Amino acid sequence: MGKKLNLAIIYYSATGTNHQMAEWAREAAEDEDVEVRFKKIRETAPDSAIEQNDKWKKHLEATKDIPVAEQDDLDWAHAIIFSSPTRYGNLSSQFKSFIDATGPLWSKGKLVNKVVSAMTSAQNAHGGQESTLLSLYKSMFHWGAIVAAPGYTDEIMFKMGGNPYGVSVSAGGEELNDNSKKAIHHQVKRTIEIAKKLNS
């Protein structure tokens, strides 16, 4: 392609796990000669919920200067890395609202052939990570997007628990570690590689 690939990294994070995952995705992209937009999804939870969780309050304050994702970021991007926590086996409501607002872009065919990959976290090892990623990918199929799941294309995915749909971590009993970082780097690089081929 004549110009650089545009990569949007869009995440929602309440207490910091998916923010860290997104940061590692940005780090991986910096080695790939692409234009990157790093955006968070707007917080829509009521203050009454946030006030009851010190980690949530602290993270919200710490990331207040990160720009909020807009629908234009999806239009601009050739490739997109999403990261959302799991909520009862589904996307967080904040993330789902962002996806639900893509109708105007979808109706104009603006989301067709976007190369998309996603990551997630949950409190427990079997807390719904796979179903969360699959629920997001269903929307991507409606977009006409190209899902670039990591599959088992690198042994690091086995070390991370073998989720072929995207990097997933257990935010409760297992902190993010070097294997998490390596797996995210692999997923991002694979997504960019596919997007470059599609847009060459």
- Per residue of the chain (200 residues), give pLDDT as tens: 568 999 999 999 999 999 999 999 999 999 999 999 999 999 999 999 999 999 999 999 999 999 999 999 999 999 999 999 999 999 999 999 999 999 999 999 999 999 999 999 998 888 999 999 999 999 999 999 999 999 999 999 999 989 999 999 988 655 689 999 999 999 999 999 999 999 98
- Report in angstroms the alpha-carbon separations of 184 from 3, 72, 159, 160, 168: 25, 25, 12, 10, 9
| pTM of the complete model | 0.96
**18-40 per-residue burial string, b: 16 or more CB within 10 A, e: under 16:** bbbbbbbbbebbeebebebbbbb
200 CB-contact burial (10 Å; exposed 0-12 / middle 13-18 / buried 19+):
exposed
Beta strands 35-40 and 90-91, pairing class: unpaired
Q: Where are the domains of the chain?
A: 6-198
CATH match for 6-198 among 3.40.50.360, 3.60.15.10, 3.20.20.370, 2.40.50.140 = 3.40.50.360
The phi, psi pair for 186, rounded to 5°, reads -65, -45
